Amino acid sequence: MDATLGSVVHVAVPRPLRTTFEYSLPSDLPAPLPGTRVRVPLGKSHVIGIVTALSDHPTRSMKPIEDILDAAPILTADLLKLASWLADYYHHPIGSVYAALIPTLARRGNPTEFEPTLIWIAVGKSTPTSLDRAPRQRRLWESLSKTGPVTTNEARKFGATLPLLRKLEEKGSIISQVERADYRISPSDIKPTSEQTAAIRAITANLDQFGVHTLYGVTGSGKTEVYLRVIENALKQAKQAVVLVPEIALTPQTTARFVERFGAAGVIHSAESDRERFRTWARVASGEHQILIGTRSAIFSNFRDLGVIVVDEEHDPSFKQTEGLRYSARDVAVIRAQMLGIPCVLGSATPSLETIANVDRKRYSMARISERPGSRKMPTFRVVDIRGERLNGGLSQPLLTVIRRHLNNNAQVLVFINRRGYAPTLCCSRCGWRAECDACDVRLTLHQSPKLLQCHHCLRRYPAPTACPECASEEIVALGAGTQRVEQTLKTEFPDVPTLRVDRDTTRSQTQLQNLFSTLTNPSRRILVGTQMLAKGHHLPNVTLVAVVNADNGFLSPDFRGPERTAQLITQVAGRAGRAERPGEVWIQSYDPANPNLVALTEYGYDGFTKTEMQHRRIAQLPPFTVMAMLRADASNPNESETFLLQLLAIVATFDVEALGPVTAPLARKSGRFRHQALLVSRRRSEIQRALEAVENKVPNQNSVRWSIDVDPIDTF
């Protein structure tokens, strides 16, 4: 009979299901190893799943697997282990975990072997005479000779086709080569400072052992140089390295530093096509790519022999995925390093309170890089009390005066305001009507050029009324200020100074952003107005003033992480200004100048802020002193989502977990669905985990409610 060894195949199928499925192994197929793709019947359809385990003794009649897609597993054993950790820790269906782990094309069953990419190179110095009578071929040769080696795809830009390239190759006018990532270690003339040396030693001394090393240094202090040296060590031992960066920081410049030092690097980001992503994934799996730089999902890559993980800007909220598998790439990096027994480096100019707490508890080590190479001074802070001030498009008179002073010194000014659009509220001063979204319970933001109202949650657009829809009064006023309004004010106040705006409306791509920043290397007077997009990137030595239009929204935010996020943003924006002979100044407008967070930050810097805030978190019993999980539900009927959450909380009630809610979500209605949430808090992670397990097992049957579990949520409000 079929009760032979390994005759039961456990398969994770690409469905939001919390269990794997058992299939039998037909006698004409070899036993597939865990990590192999198989085709299996599921209900009335056929799907591609991943083998997670083999066992004996079939317990009931099972359907057979239909096909095995891979000769060898496409997932390494450590990724299989990580997948079950992810399913347990984040309480996410195992089938969906695998779907998140594997590139789209692998999920669809594409072969993982690739046709090699060919690059084409022109031979000789002058146009070969053999091409005299073939004008198309001659033009192609001339283009290739001008551009240097290009891939077939790139060559299409100047009219090449594969047959045409082959013809030139036959004539010996061009040659083709298989493109390969060409790794080497280039010598560098940078001599590490003593702080850098200490950090590099601490990490590389234990390259074959798990450890989390926090690298705390201001922007420009030389953290990347430390990463480069650590990676150099890994490469020398023929090991791979991965560098995780926030979405916004993955620029050609970032990659260029690694390529310059090591000859090549694989890159994964969200803008890549499925095909490119799959190819990079396969090249990492084959070991051709020794270094991978990428945004959060790069942590799931199929490394052949990973030696070190680097997370740059570890505090950045973009490392947390906020839908589907709601993982923190930083936390997964630490777990993966632990599973592999390798070091994990967490770098930041403004470490998260979670990381600082882990250092305090001696779980992570910390190396500080306090000086900048060449000892550039840190900027000084000033708070502008704007109580009773008349604001001009969001800017107070003292702030405008200091901006003028810096511009008169031929310097550049950064104006930071974390809100895009013209004004956050449009209302009628007669009857109090406010412009709100039809589908969400939020106010619409007024935008100018084109003039319209936009919902920043569902992106619906509406025409801006010229009269009040309620009382027909024409006294409609725009309250508050966004980037567009501040820009307009600055253009009126300083008509001779070029003013540039940086937000999601003006700057869509990284390349655009970098081009914009590179115009600032020219030391002429300029004003840059923008959102948090200004916080990341290279040092701007000609900027001597950073003006923060409003710090109160962040410091007084109802989300407990608001102050932390605000202090990080201000510190990062501030860190971009100034140079040795002209240190920067940072001026912050506030209606609440005595706010302890603001005072701590401006008087004692980020360290001062974290001390104050850590104390507050301890007293208020907030993370990192407690563990949280958020239950969210939405339905087209508000009673349904609330009742559903009440049922979940009844399940949780037997555990040592505090439940807050259910309450309507801060955005009570989004895209027409009513949203509720409930927060679970406990001092013990194990207790939260057990409670969530119970929820998973006993979740009531429902069709009309969508719900999710978010472990370690970053948005609690």
What does the alpha-carbon distance between residue 219 and residue 116 come to, in Å, rounded to a whole number?
A: 40
Give whichever of 163 and 463 is closer to Zn ion, judged by the CB atom.
463
User: Phi and psi (nearest 5°) for 416?
Assistant: -105, 125
The partner in contact with residue 433, picked from Zn ion, ligand ADP, none with C-beta cut-offs of 5 to 8 angstroms by kind, is Zn ion
578 binds ligand ADP (CB under 6 A): no
- 209's CB contacts (< 8 A; 6+ apart) are 341, 342, 343
Size of the site for Zn ion (CB under 5 A): 15
Which positions from 414 through 443 interact with Zn ion, judged by CB under 5 A?
428, 430-431, 433, 437, 439-440
Structure tokens at 71: 């000769």
612 binds ligand ADP (CB under 6 A): no
Shortest distance (Å) from residue 476 CB to Zn ion:
8
Nearest-5° Cα angle at 398, 395 to 400: 50
Sign of CA dihedral 345, 351, 357, 359: positive
Give whichever of 36 and 221 is closer to ligand ADP, judged by the CB atom.
221
Give whichever of 90 and 422 is closer to Zn ion, judged by the CB atom.
422
Give whichever of 12 and 440 is closer to Zn ion, judged by the CB atom.
440
For residue 525, what are the β-bridge partners?
Answer: none
Give whichever of 249 and 635 is closer to ligand ADP, judged by the CB atom.
249
The partner in contact with residue 70, picked from Zn ion, ligand ADP, none with C-beta cut-offs of 5 to 8 angstroms by kind, is none
Contact present, 508 and 517 (Cβ < 8 Å): no
The partner in contact with residue 220, picked from ligand ADP, Zn ion, none with C-beta cut-offs of 5 to 8 angstroms by kind, is ligand ADP
Q: Which of 57, 133, 184, 191 binds ligand ADP (CB under 6 A)?
A: 191
The partner in contact with residue 198, picked from ligand ADP, Zn ion, none with C-beta cut-offs of 5 to 8 angstroms by kind, is none
Shortest distance (Å) from residue 484 CB to Zn ion:
20
Which positions from 253 through 312 interact with Zn ion, judged by CB under 5 A?
none
Shortest distance (Å) from residue 444 CB to Zn ion:
8
Locate tokens 């390349």: which residue? 511
Shortest distance (Å) from residue 228 CB to ligand ADP:
8
Each residue 657-696 as x (binds ligand ADP by CB under 6 A) or -, in order, gives: ----------------------------------------
Sign of CA dihedral 596, 599, 602, 605: negative
Give the alpha-carbon dihedral of 647, 648, 654, 658, to 10 degrees. Answer: -120
The partner in contact with residue 471, picked from Zn ion, ligand ADP, none with C-beta cut-offs of 5 to 8 angstroms by kind, is Zn ion
Contact present, 484 and 506 (Cβ < 8 Å): no
Cα separations (Å) of 454 from 214, 444, 457, 592, 627? 41, 5, 9, 29, 36
Each residue 193-222 as x (binds ligand ADP by CB under 6 A) or -, in order, gives: x--x--------------------x-xxxx
Shortest distance (Å) from residue 519 CB to ligand ADP:
19
Nearest to 550 by CA among 533, 536, 531, 535: 531
Structure tokens at 94: 């195992």
Cα separations (Å) of 668 from 499, 550, 631, 639? 38, 26, 15, 12
224 binds ligand ADP (CB under 6 A): yes
Give whichever of 254 and 280 is closer to ligand ADP, judged by the CB atom.
254
Cα separations (Å) of 635 from 9, 439, 704? 38, 13, 6
Burial of 271 (0-12, 13-18, 19+ CB in 10 A): exposed
Q: Which of 470, 603, 656, 693 binds Zn ion (CB under 5 A)?
A: 470
455 binds Zn ion (CB under 5 A): yes
The partner in contact with residue 473, picked from Zn ion, ligand ADP, none with C-beta cut-offs of 5 to 8 angstroms by kind, is Zn ion
Which positions from 362 through 381 interact with ligand ADP, judged by CB under 6 A?
373
**CB-based burial, 553-586: b 16+ in 10 Å, e otherwise:** ebbbeeebbbbbbbbbbbbbbbbbbbbeebebbb
Q: Which of 83, 93, 144, 225 binds ligand ADP (CB under 6 A)?
A: 225
The partner in contact with residue 440, picked from ligand ADP, Zn ion, none with C-beta cut-offs of 5 to 8 angstroms by kind, is Zn ion
143 binds ligand ADP (CB under 6 A): no
CB atoms within 10 A of CB 191: 8
223 binds ligand ADP (CB under 6 A): yes
What does the alpha-carbon distance between residue 241 and residue 577 come to, in Å, rounded to a whole number?
A: 32
For residue 382, what are the β-bridge partners?
Answer: 587
The partner in contact with residue 191, picked from Zn ion, ligand ADP, none with C-beta cut-offs of 5 to 8 angstroms by kind, is ligand ADP
Contact present, 56 and 10 (Cβ < 8 Å): no
The partner in contact with residue 224, picked from ligand ADP, Zn ion, none with C-beta cut-offs of 5 to 8 angstroms by kind, is ligand ADP
541 binds ligand ADP (CB under 6 A): no
Give whichever of 537 and 563 is closer to ligand ADP, judged by the CB atom.
537
How many Cα atoms occupy the beta-carbon half-sphere of 529 within 13 Å? Answer: 28
Give whichever of 297 and 641 is closer to Zn ion, judged by the CB atom.
641
Give residues in contact with ligand ADP (CB under 6 A).
190-193, 196, 217, 219-225, 373
Binding site for Zn ion (CB under 5 A): 428, 430-431, 433, 437, 439-440, 455, 457-458, 460, 468, 470-471, 473
